[in-house]
Amino acid sequence: MSLASQVFTSSLLIFIVSTKGAAHEHKVVWGTLGLDFELNISNFHMNDGIDDIRWESGKTRIAQLKGGKLKEVSGKYKILTNGALRIKQLKREDHDIYKVTIYDSIGKNLLTETFQLIIQEAVSEPVMFWTCTNRSLTCEIRSGTDSELILHLDNRLVDNAMAKTISRKIATNRWMTEESMLFNCTAKNNISEQRRTMTINCSAKVLDIYLIIGICGGGLVFFIFVILLIFYLNKRRKQNDRRHDEELEVRTCRVTSKERRQKPRQVSGAAPQNPAVCQPPPPPSHRPQAPCPRPPPPSHRVHHHPQKKAPPASATQVHQQKGPPLPRPRVQPKPPHGATENS
């Protein structure tokens, strides 16, 4: 047989479950981690006939009220005027079996009761998030011991589980319509309970998703266009640079050829000063000729090129020369030295 009751003392919530064992009555109580807690004796009232109240944890005495005087083992425990035991700032190691024994002035045992104290952490407020495209909803809590999550849609149970996170796909066609859905997520354990309610409408979400997709698609197209434009301008600039270099080279060749035609001819046999200067291309009507051999210096021309012998004089010329000699011209070329010796 079990009995559940709630006791509100000093703004603290205490849950008590009573069970009967073979020897004595055994009560299970839950306390909140980090808060003060009171073990209250059920169906008991203080009177002048009570002389001694003893509290034990396991087999260790932790507090005693005898003759109206409090005897404490440590400052963590305190016996109140109604005989209850107060434990300050519960910790996980406070989980134990507690026993109270009450005697009258002649030493008669008036009451003995034991408690099993279980420490739990209070649940936090649920957090809900959902995905309209997947038609799923998730409810979770950050903290809480032995927590249970319960999910409702429009006051209709959808799911419940002993866990900190619950996620479900909601099979309904209302996700893509303009009709709103009311979700309720409740988290609770033996010492606390938290609830979160949220109204969801996915029609605006779907429009936002399409808008985001359109913006992203337009941005991608614009980015590709900019890349192609940069590539085209770079290629066009390279072509213009190449064309400008070719025109500059042709213009340089023309100017060089014109300057060479305007200068007086150099002495034959002298080497050109700048053989690397570009030569204008020959006219299409003339065929390229092999370069002539370089002529020797003027001082060596006589030795390599002897003068041709004069043809023998005819009879008429010999007959005319028998008279007086004819006058010579004022300027007469000097015969070469080699020709005189041959004559």
Q: Which domain holds residue 235?
A: 211-239
- Among the residue ranges 157-171, 183-197, 264-278, the one predicted with the least confidence is 264-278
pLDDT value of residue 302? 43
pLDDT value of residue 275? 43
Q: Which residue has the higher pLDDT, 298 or 330?
A: 330
If 0-12 CB within 10 Å is exposed, 13-18 middle and 19+ buried, where does residue 276 land?
exposed
Same domain, 32 and 108: yes
Nearest Cα to 125, choosing from 198, 218, 39, 37? 198
Tokens of 4: 């559940």
Same domain, 31 and 107: yes
What is the rounded average pLDDT of the residues 177-190?
A: 88
pLDDT value of residue 12? 38
Q: Are 14 and 7 in contact (CB under 8 A)?
A: yes
Query: For residues 107 and 50, what is the distance between their CA atoms, to the nearest angstrom?
Result: 9
Tokens of 330: 């004022």
Q: Which amino acid is at 36?
A: D
- Among the residue ranges 26-35, 126-135, 222-231, 254-263, the one predicted with the least confidence is 254-263
pLDDT value of residue 257? 73
Q: Answer yes or no: is 280 within a domain.
A: no
pLDDT value of residue 170? 79
How far, in Å, are 19, 37, 59, 117, 216 from residue 23 at the CA level?
11, 27, 17, 19, 75
- Reported as a pLDDT band with limits 50, 70 and 90, residue 250 is confident
Element containing residue 148 per DSSP (H, E): strand 148-153
Same domain, 102 and 132: no
Same domain, 174 and 109: no
Same domain, 38 and 112: yes
Q: Answer yes or no: is 297 within a domain.
A: no
In this structure, the chain runs to a length of: 343
Q: What is the mean pLDDT of the chain?
A: 75
Same domain, 153 and 222: no
Q: Answer yes or no: is 8 within a domain.
A: no
Same domain, 45 and 61: yes
Same domain, 109 and 140: no
pLDDT value of residue 69? 86
What is the rounded average pLDDT of the residues 331-337?
A: 56
Same domain, 40 and 108: yes
Residues β-bridged to residue 242? none
- Reported as a pLDDT band with limits 50, 70 and 90, residue 330 is low
pLDDT value of residue 212? 72
Distance of CA 312 to the CA centre of its chain: 111
Query: Which residue among 169, 200, 231 closes a domain?
Result: 200
Number of domains in the chain: 3
Is residue 1 pLDDT above 50, yes or no?
no
What percentage of the chain exceeds 90 in pLDDT? 34
Nearest Cα to 53, choosing from 86, 6, 25? 86
Q: What is the CATH number of the domain that holds 112?
A: 2.60.40.10
pLDDT value of residue 334? 58
- Reported as a pLDDT band with limits 50, 70 and 90, residue 4 is very low
pLDDT value of residue 205? 55
Contacts of 193 (CB under 8 A, 6+ apart): 123, 186, 187
Query: For residues 170 and 253, what is the distance between their CA atoms, to the nearest angstrom?
Result: 84
Same domain, 36 and 107: yes
Tokens of 338: 């080699």
Query: Which residue among 102, 120, 138 closes a domain?
Result: 120
Q: Answer yes or no: is 54 within a domain.
A: yes
What is the rounded average pLDDT of the residues 312-322?
A: 48
Same domain, 54 and 103: yes
Query: For residues 64 and 56, what is the distance between their CA atoms, to the nearest angstrom?
Result: 9
pLDDT value of residue 185? 95
pLDDT value of residue 267? 43
Same domain, 32 and 113: yes
- Reported as a pLDDT band with limits 50, 70 and 90, residue 304 is very low
Query: Which residue among 97, 120, 143 closes a domain?
Result: 120
What percentage of the chain exceeds 70 in pLDDT? 64
pLDDT digits (tens, 9 = 90+) for 187-226: 999 999 999 999 988 876 554 555 677 788 888 888 898 9
Q: Answer yes or no: is 175 within a domain.
A: yes
Q: Answer yes or no: is 260 within a domain.
A: no
What is the rounded average pLDDT of the residues 26-30?
A: 89
pLDDT value of residue 33? 94
Q: Answer yes or no: is 134 within a domain.
A: yes
What is the rounded average pLDDT of the residues 142-170?
A: 91
Nearest Cα to 84, choosing from 121, 113, 118? 113
Q: Answer yes or no: is 113 within a domain.
A: yes
If 0-12 CB within 10 Å is exposed, 13-18 middle and 19+ buried, where does residue 141 land?
buried
